[in-house]
């Protein structure tokens, strides 16, 4: 993903609360740990590496157009 993804209002709040930047999200989406997984409600879950190498879980809408949420994961 070359461009910054669109972020839902919920995702923006969670990023601030969890100390995650938009650049971390872009990095995780461009450096996935494996194939996308099915999430709740048709969402897509991608685990990938943030800018500093920490593992970030990004939840995307089914069309991959919107980041629904993101959270840090342990390796």
Q: What is the pLDDT of residue 1?
A: 47
Q: What is the pLDDT of residue 57?
A: 97
Q: pLDDT truncated to tens, each residue of the chain (75 aa)?
A: 456 779 999 999 999 999 999 999 999 999 999 999 998 899 999 999 999 999 999 999 999 999 999 999 875
Cβ partners under 8 Å of residue 45, min gap 6? 36, 37, 38, 39, 57, 58, 59, 60
For residues 65 and 6, is the Cβ–Cβ distance under 8 A? yes
Locate tokens 């494996």: which residue? 34
Pairwise CA distance, residues 69 & 12, whole Å: 8
User: pTM (2 decimals)?
Assistant: 0.89
Domain boundaries, given as residue ranges, for the chain: 6-73
């Amino acid at each position: 993903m070359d461009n910054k993804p669109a972020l839902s209002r919920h995702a923006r709040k969670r990023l601030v609360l969890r100390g995650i930047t938009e650049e971390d999200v872009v990095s995780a989406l461009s450096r996935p740990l494996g194939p996308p997984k099915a999430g709740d409600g048709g969402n897509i879950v991608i685990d990938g590496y943030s800018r500093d190498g920490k593992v970030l879980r990004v939840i995307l809408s089914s069309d991959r157009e919107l980041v629904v949420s993101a959270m840090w994961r342990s390796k």
